[in-house]
Amino acid sequence: MSSAGEGLSRPLPEQVRLHVVELAAQILGSMPAASVPPPLRNIAKFDPRKRAKLGGTPIAAQLENDKEFREVVAEALAAGWPELVAGLAEGSVPPAAEPVMVAAAAYLTRPPGWEEMIETARTDIERSAAVAEGSALEQTLLRLREQLAAQKTSAKEESDRLREQLKAARGEISDLRRKLHDARERAKTAEARAAAMEEAAQEARTAAASAGSAGESELRRLRERLADSERQLEATRRAAREGRSVEDTKVRMLLDALQDAASGLRRELALPSSIVRPADSVASVTPGSPGVRAVPARALADDDPALLDQLLTLPQIHVIVDGYNVTKTGYGTLTLADQRNRLLTGLGALYAQTRTELTCVFDGAELNGPVPVSAPRGVRVLFSAPGQIADDLIRQLVRAEPVGRALAVVSSDREVAESVRRMGARPVPAGLLLKRLGRA
């Protein structure tokens, strides 16, 4: 490898410099520690991916000033590109070689005329850059032309739209002018009618003035008759009020008598004082009996508790709760016993606040022992019988109620909700009850 011409009149092209530094950085990592030039020993310890980026300037300076290091890098290049290096040594450049590779090989191996080779490569690189720049300019020009065409099309569409609006505005102005003409004609007619009425009123005033004394006499007579009529009307109203008072007293006395008679008849027949409600007649498994287990339920979310608050204000409403559907929606991680206790405690508090009839239904099945459930005051707790699911028991409760009574079924099970809706009950998502109990 020749060492003639150790300097360049101009710096290496940037692409060539980066390629040479990258190649030298790769070789630097594989060199023995003793062979690494002292200025580059710290750089040789860098990560291979960062060596060329962080140590590019020191590596380039070492290549320029350290012939031995440059020759080591040149030998690695010759091993990878033997044909290119051999061609440059003979003074010929392979026609298909890239200008960057030619300039890098010439700089490192320094064959005769390597400066001219680098300048030739520089010219080729600049020409390629110019061609690329021209292509980019052509693409930019094409894009600008497309944008101009699109803007022209948009401008034409906007112009057509404005023309249509102008046409519509002209038509509207024509209609307004016609309406204004009609209004003016009506105003003229009204003015003429007003003038005629004013003339008639003047004539009436004249006639009234001529008959003033007779009118005053008649007015006094009419006022006297009106005063007599008002006195008679007041007397009639007073008599009607007294009559209604007597009738109200009679009705109250009759109702008191009926209540006393009903109380005596209840005592005579030994009737129970409590009222048996329709839901009490539905067959189910009572708490404490064996055979209760949970059946997973499907739940839907709902964020608005206002619906349940409104339903609870209805008189004599019966609220039926799908127990495990509600508990698995709100606190399904607890045991079944804890789920039941938590729900029943909340329902007891709800009854204390609203005095609403509440029935809580749980799925039941055969078990070896009874299920301990303490029903709070005012809450009816039912379990479905073996072989029956809570959904069927809920439907039986709905069917047992008289037609027209307010019913609400708390369940997020779509099938249950649709079936009870068809039967006349109002389905309520489980999330509403959970939020209501949370507020309680």
Structure tokens at 151: 């803007």
Q: Which residues pair with 426 in a beta bridge?
A: 408
Per-residue pLDDT at 260: 60
CA 418/CA 29 separation, integer angstroms:
76
Q: Please, what is the angle between helix 14-30 and helix 99-109, to 10°?
A: 60
Residue 362 C-alpha from the chain's centroid: 35
Per DSSP, 92 falls in state -
Which residue, chain included where needed, has tokens 């039986």?
Answer: 396
**Rounded average pLDDT over 320-348:** 93
Q: If you average pLDDT over each of 61-65, 144-148, 348-352, which comes out highest?
A: 348-352
Q: How confident is the model at residue 8 (pLDDT cuts 50, 70, 90)?
A: low
Q: Domains of the chain by range and CATH?
A: 1-179 (no CATH), 283-439 (3.40.50)
Task: Give the pLDDT confidence of 33-86 residue by residue, as tens digits.
Answer: 777 788 877 777 787 777 777 777 887 787 777 778 887 887 777 777 777 777
- pLDDT > 50? residue 296: no
Q: How confident is the model at residue 333 (pLDDT cuts 50, 70, 90)?
A: very high
264 Cβ contact list (under 8 Å, min separation 6): none
CA 310/CA 420 separation, integer angstroms:
19
C-alpha distance across the termini of the chain, in Å: 95
Residue 103 C-alpha from the chain's centroid: 62
pTM, rounded to two decimals = 0.37
- pLDDT > 60? residue 3: no
Structure tokens at 79: 């091993």
Mean residue pLDDT of the chain comes to 79
**Strand 407-410, strand 318-322: pairing:** parallel
Q: How confident is the model at residue 265 (pLDDT cuts 50, 70, 90)?
A: confident
Per-residue pLDDT at 292: 31
- The more confidently predicted of residues 285 and 125 is 125
Per-residue pLDDT at 252: 59
Q: How confident is the model at residue 360 (pLDDT cuts 50, 70, 90)?
A: very high
